[in-house]
Structure 1
Amino acid sequence: MEDKRATGRDVIEAVVDNMTQSLEPLYTKTLAPSLFQVYLHPNDHQRLMTIEGELAVEASLRLDRALSELNAGRDESPLEKVAKLGAFNKLLQGDPETEAMTYERAGPRWDIRIDPHPDESFPRGGIEVASQLAIKASSTYAKGSDTVRISRTQRIGETSKRDTKTLDVLARIAFTDDSGSHEYAMTKDEILIGRRADVWADLQVVCPVDVSRKHVRIRRVPAGNGFEILDVSSLGTSVNGEKLPAKDLVQWTRLPVRARIGLAGKVVLEFESRIS
């Protein structure tokens, strides 16, 4: 019996499914997420990574079409009816009967990234999509939206479902960047950390461009306790003052239970493992 596999078309449809399940209604419009991180079984990722650019182009065209279909298929909303009756004050009062007038992409463009799933037990043929809303970046620090809402969907075989499970906190990361003090809860086996921009990162920091958009990866040690860290940046990463091996060496380094992680000398992350 042939093993299931995720095709390029499956990936595109999974992205569109996520977009339609993750719409954010406002008063005058409904926003669609514009950043999508796709996770695949390593075998599927290896097969499709050589056409990632083509997949991103095709997915962007399909997302554009889906938005057009949403706008073309909508009925006149209660909001428009209210406006025609000259009772726009109902909108200002937050009338729950009003609906968004149009569907729009939240960011300046669609951004689709594809990576191998960090969970070794993730089934071949499965597709997980994590998306977030994005606001156009500023010219100085490439800052995205101040509020980040991440929506996850999974497609296993022919089934698509919204992930609503409660996740355990594996580690906590506290840091201060140009937007203030923050604490991040690590709830999956591998995360990507980088400067906030119109590309995907699980933990995004607001800082100068010395910090790369994809700067460092942290993962739970496979088949064991503890964590490892990998530098993928241009200007380097340190742990407790010691510089990590350069990114071209692709060398994972064991993380202490508590560690100070320096990003290009600009931002310090206070890492603390919560694994007993």
Structure 2
Amino acid sequence: MSSKAVGRDIIQAIVENLHESREPLRYSTLVPSIYAVYLHPDDYDRLAGIFPRMREEAKRALAEELARLNGRRRALLPGLAPRAPKHQSAEPDWYIKFHKDEDEELSPGDILVDSQLALAPEKEYGAGAKTQRSVTLTSGGETRKLRQFSEESRPSSPAVARLLYNDKSGQRREFLMTTPEISIGRGGRTEYCDLQLDAPADISRQHFYLRRDEGTREFFIQDVSRFGTTVDGQALAPKQWVRLSSRAKIGLAEKMVIEFEIL
């Protein structure tokens, strides 16, 4: 097993994820256009300087693979329809981003690819668009599918609360709460969060929950983290709902502060 991931293998892992993530329709087969690539910290740090070049070559490889797949569609005889639906990217361009595995799940040389394929919403009242995600792991020269699942985005509703914070790079972010309950944390490949934070590893994948009582319109918070949550400087007892005031500063593991405001 190789002790390090090289650029050629990472690009090939992205192409192999495309194959694992195809979605056949009636007249075409869709492939993802968004790829998140996770690498061991040693591999990430070693390759960070050439990520722009790797990204461009990966885009070229994806386009060539799409053309190769469609080259198989040629009809056996002139005038006959092609044997298979045309493969198409879900978006006009390819989007590839490299991430450091801060959860210590990957070994040196491992390549995890998490792709996203946006599907059209179903034609029924209240149905939102769906995103199909496929996660593949390349390790020891072999690629296997870890998981495939769908995430549904609900139609937008009026915002009931606002959360303001600075991400790990210092950029100001805003999140509007539009549902009765949300989860906040770093999230992960197996941990879904409504608000996924770009934050240090001390912040849990699911750090705390926010809930709005539909009857009283009061807001409550519950800490489910490893290293703790505070509200206006006061530590919360784990896994207990606590009422929030109309404005509050929520601290996460002494690493981040989120400003909460009821709208």
State the TM-score, normalized to the length of structure 2: 0.58
Q: Does 1:10 align with 2:13?
A: no
* In 1: Cα distance, 2:129 partner to 2:249 partner: 32
Please give the secondary structure, in 2, of the residue aligned with 1:148.
strand
Give how far 1:3 is off: 6.1
Number of residue pairs matched? Answer: 194
Q: Does 1:54 align with 2:53?
A: yes
Please give the secondary structure, in 2, of the residue aligned with 1:133.
strand
TM-align CA RMSD: 4.6
Does the CA contact (< 8 Å) of 1:34 and 1:132 recur in 2? Answer: yes
Which residue in 2 is equivalent to 1:151?
A: 134
Does the CA contact (< 8 Å) of 2:14 and 2:35 recur in 1? Answer: yes
Please give the secondary structure, in 2, of the residue aligned with 1:52.
helix
Please give the secondary structure, in 2, of the residue aligned with 1:219.
coil
The structure with the greater share of residues assigned to helix is: 1
Q: Structure 1: which 5+ residue stretches go unaligned?
A: 85-97, 137-144, 167-174, 193-201, 206-213, 230-239, 246-250, 255-260, 268-276
Does the CA contact (< 8 Å) of 1:129 and 1:152 recur in 2? Answer: yes
* In 1: Cα distance, 2:61 partner to 2:91 partner: 16
* In 1: Cα distance, 2:96 partner to 2:187 partner: 17
Q: Select which of 241, 244, 249 maps to 1:242.
A: 249
1:204/1:165 CA distance change after superposition, 3 Å? closer
Stretches (4+) displaced over 2 A: 74-77, 175-186, 189-192, 202-205, 214-221, 225-229, 251-254
Give how far 1:134 is off: 3.6
Please give the secondary structure, in 2, of the residue aligned with 1:44.
helix
* In 2: Cα distance, 1:183 partner to 1:17 partner: 37
Aligned-pair identity (%) = 29
1:153/1:61 CA distance change after superposition, 3 Å? same
Give how far 1:124 is off: 0.4
Which residue in 2 is equivalent to 1:38?
A: 37
The answer to which structure, 1 or 2, has the higher relative contact order (CA under 8 A, 6+ apart) is 1
The structure with the greater share of residues assigned to strand is: 2
Does the CA contact (< 8 Å) of 1:41 and 1:126 recur in 2? Answer: yes
* In 2: Cα distance, 1:67 partner to 1:49 partner: 27
State the TM-score, normalized to the length of structure 1: 0.56
Q: Please give the per-residue CA displacement for 1:83-127, whole angstroms capped at 9, x wherever unaligned.
A: x6xxxxxxxxxxxxx985201100121111111123314210000
* In 2: Cα distance, 1:29 partner to 1:100 partner: 8
* In 1: Cα distance, 2:129 partner to 2:148 partner: 25
